[in-house]
Amino acid sequence: MSRRTESADPAPGGKLRIPRRKLEDFCGCIFAALGIPPVEAEDSAKILVAADARGIPSHGVAHLSRYIRGIEAGLIKGGISPTVLRETPISRVLDAGGAMGMSLSRAAMDWVIDAARKHGVGLCSIRNSNHFGIAGYYTEMAARADMIGMAFSNTAALGVPTNARNAFFGTNPIAFAAPAENGALFSLDMATTTVTRGRIEIAEREGRKIPPGWAVGVDGKVTTDPASLLEDMLYLRGGGLLPLGGEGTALGGYKGYGLAVMVDILCALTSGGIFGAAVRDSETTSARVCHFFLALKLDLFRDPAEFKRDLSALLNALSALPAAAGANRVYYAGLKSRETEAECERLGVPVAPEVWADLEANARRLGVTV
């Protein structure tokens, strides 16, 4: 990795467009300057940039400053070999020891895929880890190996259970991916809250209100103020993000609430990690969290070529549906991200100017030439 990168180029919409490899190299250099080993620095940079390239800036390079704070405080650690707590031919339980969550998760999914190649199924449960970026990165690793992949993580308690006023569960993402023909994928990556905290942070950076229905304040009533919401969540004053489905039960908010608890069970209870309101962020860094990964080989069920043919037929049928009034087309999970990623390969990855300014400031402080 080079310790030098070129300046970003301007792009329409007030954002900068930065060539993907240059942005990966730049972020990798920052990790390396913090003492993170080369493979972990490279993995972490690629996974952060992948989020921005797929149109998910809430999980992209804007998070790098939080990593920097956590690494400098000794709460996120490079060069950690996780402890194997339990192992069978198809499963592993790990204590991450505060390791870099993204690189650790990439290695864990590699192990899961290898187990599935040998035995049809692979599983890994991890405790005491850190933020692992976009969950879909790992499920797509499995899908590209002709497998069904699933990934879950609990997060800091930001979500408010149905009929409650205090946060108890995290945004607790669920990801699922399966392969179709010609490299196409069905790739679902979703929070179990209506939105992630990153979406609230973006609204605050851009100086706009959040829509009613995303979150409630300390009184348990809907709020549209991102700044006060973020502060109240950080200092545990009350309020938080609403579960998928929104406030109350009329639109199914209890379903998102139930899914969030399911993720906690898969991630934390299988690994012996922390769960619920015990998972907390600080001003310095993100919470220690738990993950769960699964891969299923397609030939457990049928010929992989037949499965991929039929999934292609399903996805093509979805894409061919007539669009509703005011909509241009019908998407299936993962299609928009895939198209956005292809555009970013051509034009560069969009980064908000304020995020780039923060990256530049940290780079200069760490001796990485911009």
Q: What is the mean pLDDT of residues 78-95?
A: 98
Check residues 4 and 234 and name the one with the higher pLDDT. Answer: 234
Question: CA of 282: how far to CAs of 41, 155, 156, 235, 333, in Å?
Answer: 23, 13, 10, 8, 33
pLDDT value of residue 342: 97
pLDDT band at 198 (very low <50, low <70, confident <90, very high): confident
Q: Are 228 and 234 in contact (CB under 8 A)?
A: no
Neighbours of 1 (CB within 10 A): 15
With a cut of 70, say whether residue 4 has pLDDT above it.
no
With a cut of 80, say whether residue 31 has pLDDT above it.
yes
Q: What angle do CA 156, 157, 159 make, to 5 degrees?
A: 125
According to DSSP, the β-strands at 289-297 and 147-153 are antiparallel
Q: Are 293 and 175 in contact (CB under 8 A)?
A: no
Neighbours of 299 (CB within 10 A): 13
What single letter denotes the amino acid at residue 369?
T
Give me the residue spans of the domains in the chain. Answer: 9-72+348-366, 83-194+242-300
Tens of pLDDT, residue by residue over 275-320, are 999 998 876 667 899 999 999 999 999 999 999 999 999 999 999 9
Tens of pLDDT, residue by residue over 345-360, are 999 999 999 999 999 9
With tokens 């809907």, the residue in question is 222
pLDDT value of residue 5: 41
Q: What is the mean pLDDT of residues 177-181?
A: 98
For domain 9-72+348-366, the question of CATH label 3.40.50.880 is answered with: no
Q: What is the mean pLDDT of residues 195-207?
A: 90
pLDDT value of residue 205: 87
pLDDT value of residue 121: 98
Nearest Cα residue to 233 out of 198, 189, 266: 198
Mean pLDDT over all residues of the chain? 93
Q: Give the integer Cα–Cα distance in Å for 152 and 190.
A: 10
Q: Which residues pair with 123 in a beta bridge?
A: 91, 294
Q: Which two tokens stand for residue 150?
A: 């699933």
Q: Give the integer Cα–Cα distance in Å for 288 and 281.
A: 8
Question: CA of 25: how far to CAs of 32, 102, 154, 214, 348, in Å?
Answer: 10, 16, 29, 35, 14
Q: What is the mean pLDDT of residues 134-142?
A: 98
Nearest Cα residue to 195 out of 156, 242, 163: 242
With a cut of 50, say whether residue 224 has pLDDT above it.
yes
Q: Are 77 and 41 in contact (CB under 8 A)?
A: no
Check residues 286 and 58 and name the one with the higher pLDDT. Answer: 58
Question: What are the E-state strand segments in 245-308?
Answer: 289-297
pLDDT value of residue 283: 67
The answer to whether the 9-72+348-366 and 83-194+242-300 domains have the same CATH topology is: no
Nearest Cα residue to 5 out of 61, 67, 58, 68: 61
Q: Alpha helices of the chain — where are they, by DSSP H?
A: 20-33, 38-53, 64-72, 101-119, 136-143, 197-205, 226-234, 253-264, 270-271, 304-319, 335-347, 353-366
pLDDT band at 197 (very low <50, low <70, confident <90, very high): confident
Q: What is the mean pLDDT of residues 176-186?
A: 97
Radius of gyration of the chain, Cα coordinates, nearest whole angstrom: 20
CATH topology of domain 83-194+242-300: Ribosomal Protein S8; Chain: A, domain 1 (3.30.1370)
